[in-house]
């Protein structure tokens, strides 16, 4: 938490519209770097879901991301040129803002390529979910990161701003995930999916973590530990039932694998700002997998949240 306070000094306010936040508003927090092309669809997706206000940290974008965001009426924007890695992959910046603006609100912390799907999201706004969580005395809501990919090499279809990225990237791995409990923070550690299958075939232990807890009824005492994989205090990580039943949960659909991916991977590799010496990005930039086809004959095509619930990738729990 001290890190968060310290690191939030790196943030410089560009557009602060937080005075417009009303007591029960649902807030979204996000760090972005050169994501201009993704943002129009991203913002609309979450607006439709019922998110009331967006709080962005722009990490030295040079593609107009900052200008675009500053223009949006429901966005408050901070900017930093600081190091993403030194800020624990952006989490310190967000922890600082969460502490200041998130207290008492339901807060959603996602990346610009992550799209939350929860039970009944096609018929109920996110307020229905958070009201229900409140009534049930639940403070945190889990959503597994689900990597979505197109069929064929990534560069065959060009993504245009404002479009649904899952129109082409509509495939996913439905049942090759492994779960472990992390004894330190009590969270689950989930790996698997297409990234493990293709990029980390021979060293699955290094595959990226897919467990996330993006939706939290924030309190100034809380803090994310590493990305949104784990929180403190530890009780917030108890998003799973270990006596046999199922708690309600969602999925974060991950639109990472679009045609911009290769370029992004190379760029990120040069910046060396990612986890474990950017091992993940090294794998992506590997010439052998330079034009990877993540699709296999057992890939599942995305239909709706019912399908994800049926496949056991998320659960309605006892919400009906």
3 state SS of 93: helix
Of 67 and 201, nearer to another protein (C-beta) is 201
Of 115 and 159, nearer to another protein (C-beta) is 115
Q: CA-to-CA distance for 141 and 311, rounded, in angstroms?
A: 19
Distance of closest approach, residue 34 Cβ to another protein, in angstroms: 30
Distance of closest approach, residue 64 Cβ to another protein, in angstroms: 36
Q: What are phi and psi of 300, to 5 degrees?
A: -100, 140
Tokens at 283, concatenated: 């794998």
Distance of closest approach, residue 245 Cβ to another protein, in angstroms: 5
Q: Could you list the residues that contact another protein (CB under 8 A)?
A: 120, 123-125, 127-128, 131-132, 135-136, 142-144, 173-181, 188, 190-191, 194, 196-197, 201-205, 211, 239-249, 296-300, 312-320
Distance of closest approach, residue 152 Cβ to another protein, in angstroms: 16
Distance of closest approach, residue 212 Cβ to another protein, in angstroms: 8
Q: Which of 28, 8, 15, 1 is nearest to 80 (CA)?
A: 8
Beta bridge partners of 301: 171
* Residue 222 Cα to chain centre, angstroms: 18
Distance of closest approach, residue 269 Cβ to another protein, in angstroms: 24
Q: Could you give the C-alpha distances from 53 to 16, 17, 77, 107, 174, in angstroms and in order?
A: 11, 9, 11, 10, 33
Of 223 and 249, nearer to another protein (C-beta) is 249
Of 252 and 265, nearer to another protein (C-beta) is 252
Q: What are phi and psi of 287, to 5 degrees?
A: -55, -30
Q: Which of 285, 269, 292, 275 is nearest to 194 (CA)?
A: 292
Tokens at 198, concatenated: 């293709």
Of 81 and 205, nearer to another protein (C-beta) is 205
Of 49 and 97, nearer to another protein (C-beta) is 49
Torsion of the alpha carbons at 36, 39, 41 and 43, rounded to the nearest 10: -160
Distance of closest approach, residue 179 Cβ to another protein, in angstroms: 6
Of 152 and 245, nearer to another protein (C-beta) is 245
Q: CA-to-CA distance for 136 and 317, rounded, in angstroms?
A: 12
Q: Could you give the C-alpha distances from 173 to 96, 153, 191, 300, 302, in angstroms and in order?
A: 35, 16, 12, 6, 10
């Amino acid at each position: 938490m001290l890190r968060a306070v310290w690191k939030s000094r790196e943030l410089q306010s560009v557009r602060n519209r937080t005075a417009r936040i009303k007591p029960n508003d649902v807030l979204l927090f996000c760090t972005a770097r050169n994501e201009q092309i993704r943002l129009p669809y991203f913002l609309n997706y979450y607006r439709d879901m019922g998110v009331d206000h967006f709080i962005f940290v722009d990490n030295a974008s040079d593609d107009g991301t900052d200008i675009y965001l500053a223009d949006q009426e429901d966005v408050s924007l901070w900017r930093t040129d600081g190091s993403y890695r030194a800020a624990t992959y952006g989490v310190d910046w967000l922890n600082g803002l969460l502490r200041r603006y998130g207290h008492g609100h339901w807060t959603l912390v996602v990346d610009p390529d992550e799209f939350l799907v929860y039970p009944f999201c096609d018929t109920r706004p996110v307020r229905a979910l958070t009201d229900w969580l409140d009534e049930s005395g639940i403070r945190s809501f889990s959503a597994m990161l689900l990597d979505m990919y197109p069929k064929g090499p990534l560069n065959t279809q060009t993504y245009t701003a404002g479009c649904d990225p899952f129109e082409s990237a509509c495939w996913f791995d439905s049942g090759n995930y492994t779960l472990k409990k992390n004894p330190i923070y009590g969270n689950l550690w989930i790996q698997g999916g297409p990234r493990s299958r293709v990029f980390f075939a021979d060293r699955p232990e290094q595959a990226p973590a897919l467990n996330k807890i993006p939706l939290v009824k924030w309190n100034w005492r809380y803090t994310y530990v590493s990305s949104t994989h784990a929180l403190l205090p530890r009780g917030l990580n108890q998003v799973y039932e270990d006596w046999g039943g199922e708690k309600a949960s969602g999925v974060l659909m991950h639109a990472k694998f679009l045609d911009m991916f290769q370029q992004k991977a190379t760029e990120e590799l040069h910046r060396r700002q990612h986890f474990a010496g950017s091992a993940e990005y090294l794998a992506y930039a590997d010439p052998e997998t330079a034009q990877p086809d993540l699709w296999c004959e057992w890939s599942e095509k995305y239909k709706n949240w019912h399908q994800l619930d049926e496949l056991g990738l998320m659960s309605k729990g006892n919400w009906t």
